[in-house]
Structure 1
């Protein structure tokens, strides 16, 4: 059985769910709009440049989870999914997922974005297995802290290896689809690394190493 692994943001989605969650919170008046938007944009630029300190970003992003009840957060999330996420699910991404399913491959989404945001997105996409950054919960409330290793850059490799051990699986026949140079450490682990609408750094790396480069955004005739 093959294992097909997918990044989420800007791979299966035509946008970044982390960044869009921040935009949504600004629109809802849940945060100070000017300060939050400026900081959110700065972290997103750092991510694109490969200079992001994931723990600094998570301290910023997960703080809001601590400040509100789970009921309020879930109400916001439901609205966010309808307004921000469903419109950016790529039809060709859904077709790609369906193609791997039809071949009997196990599907896994691995993302740096936290599980509170991405758990329901994986459900919408029909993918049961998800590795995401885990926000800590105590006494039924989020603490604003991260639990365990964030699934970012080399952390994705660490988390995937732990998951494979738990599932008694290997990367014998495996695919990983990603848009970002931040995922090169994991792309190098699989038998079929595939760059999807890649950023400039990943595009150059993929072509130098003979990796497959595809688009899930270009219209097909």
Structure 2
């Protein structure tokens, strides 16, 4: 049984609300250099395969932007989003329907992601999300330093969600969360009810134990209009 109506709904973004790994998709677009992109992406994939924690690979991702102007990266993020929208398959239709039902019931919609504002702001604006909790890269004199102030991965997602609950004075037991990866588990466990997207075995085991909702994984691109 879910919570009706939920006070706040926390949504993971990449491969939950959208059908791509948005951080990598944006990086490929932003760099405009296939060889360099493949080099960076391959390194991140190798590290992940070797068991390097997601929080660490997340930090390494932001090193790529060192020295770049925050405003220029943000503008690139909007161009990336516009390009993705042309194909009509950026959004996971089933999850967007869940989000819209919650919005109609007056639920506060919060996006929670290891991604950053350049990617997340256009998505949040399109969906009408109320809040965005994302990774915060360090900026000095208008340029990214390559370092990170706050990483929103794993336990970091739960920490960010709990801080927002405290700020709003809302009991987490009256809230819901949605995610697709085992690293989302701390956030899902921080609220009263959750939805598991796809077939992550860790999340499915917890869903069976706790009675969480099961939702389909990301569809083949081509039918995910928001």
The answer as to 2:141 corresponding to 1:139 is: yes
Which residue does 1:4 correspond to in 2?
Answer: 9
User: Hey, what does 1:14 align to over in structure 2?
Assistant: 19
Give the superposition deviation at 1:45. Answer: 4.6
Unaligned runs of 5+ in 2: 1-5
Q: Aligned runs of 1:61-140 on 2, under 5 Å?
A: 61-84=61-84, 87-140=89-142
Q: Look up the match of 2:194.
A: 193
RMSD of aligned alpha carbons: 2.5
Q: Note the C-alpha offset of 1:174.
A: 0.8
Report the Cα distance in structure 1 between the residues aligned to 2:146 and 2:28, rounded to whole angstroms. 19
Is 1:29 equivalent to 2:33 in the alignment? Answer: yes
Provide the C-alpha distance between the structure 2 equivalents of 1:173 and 1:145, rounded to a whole number of angstroms.
35
C-alpha displacement of 1:23: 2.8
Distance 1:108 1:74 in 2: 20
Alpha-carbon offset, residue 214 of structure 1:
1.6
CA contact (8 A) 1:20 1:84 kept: no
Cα shift at 1:16: 1.3
CA contact (8 A) 1:176 1:192 kept: yes
Residue range with higher mean Cα deviation, 122-131 or 66-75: 66-75
Deviation for aligned residue 1:187: 1.2
CA distance in 2, matches of 1:43, 1:14: 23
Identify if the C-alpha distance between structure 1 residues 56 and 179 changes in structure 2 by more than 3 Å, giving closer, same or farther.
closer
What corresponds to 2:3 in structure 1? none
TM superposition score normalised by structure 1: 0.83
SS in 1 for 2:135: strand
